[in-house]
Structure 1
Amino acid sequence: MKILLIASTAALAVLSSPAMAQDDRTGDIQVKLLGTAVLPDGKITDVKVDPGLPSGTQTAANDNVVPTVAIEYFFTNNFSVETICCMTQHDVDGTTGLPGAELVSNARVIPATFTAKYHFDAGGAKPYVGAGATYFLWVSDKPGAATTPAPFNVTDTDLSNEFGFVLQAGIDIPLSDKGFGLSLDAKRYFVDTTATWRAGSTTVIQTEHKLDPWVLSAGVSFTF
């Protein structure tokens, strides 16, 4: 949360400074091409079906870096809405109780996200803050290597699709008067998932996990 608080404080400081001339972006569309680091949590928050997991079993999801595209529409000079397009892949491994054990393999998620953003003006640079909703759609997931042998004998793994919310802060920095610029963005998602491991039609393990990823992006923007 510190990154979001720092960006928000900076944006409020801009508001208190003398107003400067700014271009009107009403009706503009901004497209961003970004490199994005996705840093999820993945820890267990509840065990619903326990086959005898070691006491204190805990998990973590690995980080990933992916390309993303963001598309933004300005309703006014200061207010816009944005959506992003990406898919990210993660494994879930044991950290305590089953240290190093691969529990979920190659889980791919589309984090469908819409945010409403308020933009400030700092003369050239334009910081912003935002908030919105997300839907984590898992398009594939496989049992981890540690779950397929006895005693679990898992044949299928499912991660539940879930709604959540997201906070956002960042800055757009124009690099030319032709709509080309630099963009830095930080999002914090708040979303969980229920993981279910089955042996045939029998649920052998079921746990709830806190995902809550930080999503940190940098790239270029084009305004039309």
Structure 2
Amino acid sequence: MPALRIALLAALAATAVATPAHASPASPVSPAERPLTCRGAGVDPGAAVRYRTETVVHAPLDRIWRLQTDVARWPAWQSPVASAHRLDHGPLRAGSAFRWTIPVPATDTTPALDLDITSTVRQLRPGSCLRWTGPAVADGLRIDGVHVWNFTKVRGGVRVSTEETHTGAQVEADVPAATRILREGLETWLRELKTAAEGHR
């Protein structure tokens, strides 16, 4: 499935949204820094595909936390997310699961696809950190991800830090391309979280 893999990776890269002129870009973090953790657990230490970044959001922590944990409303402020729904009820907590999709447009050689992601929260500390794991699948593709988020109050706002790793035969076949796609996805997420939180009325 190399042609499908390449086309899918290229299409995923195209989902990244250009940084608006008024938005501050997120800051990549040196790989030498300690991995992010939530309740002592972090990303996959053996994964070849990984990226970490952060940004300061000038908004109250409770607003940022609500945006991030109200999974069903992600499509309202995250442009790449087509659908998202909880598989349980109540506040997001350890053990909560959710399913979300990212459409992948058709190319000259592949049909349109939906990247279908099922995530399970493994660790959570309210207002402080989140860690979830789970597969992203499409026709001929499977990526296993581990995603950690940290939220730290700083002067004027909240530093939101995120780190994610991916494993799977398809992404490991082209680590630089897979890392670039992961980077673009995380930078877009932070940028749109910042825009949504700071523009909230």
Fold match by TM threshold 0.5: no
TM-score (norm 2): 0.38
Radius of gyration: which is bigger?
1
Give the number of the structure whose residues are more often helix, by fraction: 2
TM-score (norm 1): 0.35
